[in-house]
């Protein structure tokens, strides 16, 4: 029983260190943000699906805010079908890279 607990504890530490290793790289995000520009890169743009939304400009937001928002869309905690589909397609590294990129924009 002790061996199982030790193995579980070590596995948990390994997972925590793996999660901590994800660092956003704005340069790597340049091809990843192409899907974002169509809505978030147009000042005053409004999306009409599933209802009328004023699309926020995300440039200059903190990386942590963008990461949290994308994670919430991915989990379904934030409700927007298009954003959920996009976020669901992103890896943890993609999310960190996109967040790093947009945090450096104006």
pLDDT of residue 4: 62
How sure is the predictor about 49, in pLDDT bands with cuts at 50, 70 and 90? confident
CB 87 within 8 A of CB 35: no
Residue-wise pLDDT for 21-35, tens only, equals 899 999 999 999 999
Residue 83 domain-assigned (yes or no): yes
What total number of domains does the chain contain? 1
| Cα–Cα distance measured from residue 106 to residue 98, given in angstroms and rounded to the nearest whole number | 14
Is 15 among the domain residues? no
Which residue range(s) make up the domain with 37?
Answer: 23-103
- Model's pTM, two decimal places? 0.76
**CATH code for position 52:** 1.10.760.10
């Amino acid at each position: 029983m002790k061996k199982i607990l030790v193995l579980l504890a070590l596995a948990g530490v390994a997972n925590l260190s793996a999660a901590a290793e994800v660092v956003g790289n704005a340069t790597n995000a340049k091809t990843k943000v192409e899907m974002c520009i169509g809505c978030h890169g147009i000042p005053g743009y409004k999306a009409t699906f599933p209802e009328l939304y004023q699309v926020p400009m995300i440039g200059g937001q903190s990386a942590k805010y963008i990461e949290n928002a994308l994670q919430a869309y991915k989990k379904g905690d934030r409700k927007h079908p298009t954003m959920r589909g996009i976020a669901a397609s992103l890896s943890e590294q993609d999310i960190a890279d996109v967040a790093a990129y947009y945090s450096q924009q104006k």
